[in-house]
Amino acid sequence: MSRVPANARLSAILALSLILAACSETPAASSADETVAATPSAEASASAEPSESAAASPSDEAAVLMADSDFGAILTDADGVTIYFFANDTEGTSNCEDDCLANWPAVEAEDSPTAGEGVTAELGTIERSDGTRQLTVNGFPAYYFAGDAAAGDVNGQGQGDVWWVFGADGEHIES
């Protein structure tokens, strides 16, 4: 019987974990305020790393953290994955559906979102048309970018001149 190299097993486990996470559904909650569910991510890159104070949060409940990046202080989830603003949304309403969601997955929320140290943005949730809860930052829906391979990546910044990182104050940063 042949042995599978450790790197291949690790890659297979990581791929399976990502597939299972993507396929699992979170039941819609009845509360108006919900917390961000952590998204699996790889190691943080040098482009945006959570600050010492954010990384030292007392629990994983601080779902929205501040990280330093080339664009200044930006918002990430608890795993350091960058959170984005979509300029085609309106306050309280997501206009990213179907194919858009394939590249820009909604930041799902389960409980009341909490902010890490330095985050001054107003956090909340909205209910999407499919019944899931989505994190809002200053009233606007929040998204991940499928092109960010690791925590700290900011590859979605400026895409189509409509996707921007959120600053720690919740305002989007155009650059």
Query: 62 near 114, Cβ under 8 Å?
Result: yes
Alpha carbons 42 and 148: distance in angstroms, whole number: 10
Tokens describing residue 174 = 């155009």
Report domain extents, the chain: 27-173
Query: 148 near 155, Cβ under 8 Å?
Result: yes
Q: What pairs with residue 164 in β-bridges?
A: 85
Query: 108 near 37, Cβ under 8 Å?
Result: yes
One digit per residue, pLDDT tens: the chain, 175 residues? 444 444 444 344 444 343 333 333 333 333 333 333 333 333 333 345 444 333 333 333 458 999 999 999 999 999 999 999 999 999 999 999 999 999 999 999 987 899 999 999 999 999 999 999 999 999 999 999 999 999 999 999 999 999 999 999 999 999 8
Nearest residue to 148 via CA among 88, 76, 87: 76
Name the pTM for this structure: 0.67
Strands ordered across the beta sheet of 172-173: 84-86, 163-166, 172-173
Alpha carbons 95 and 101: distance in angstroms, whole number: 10
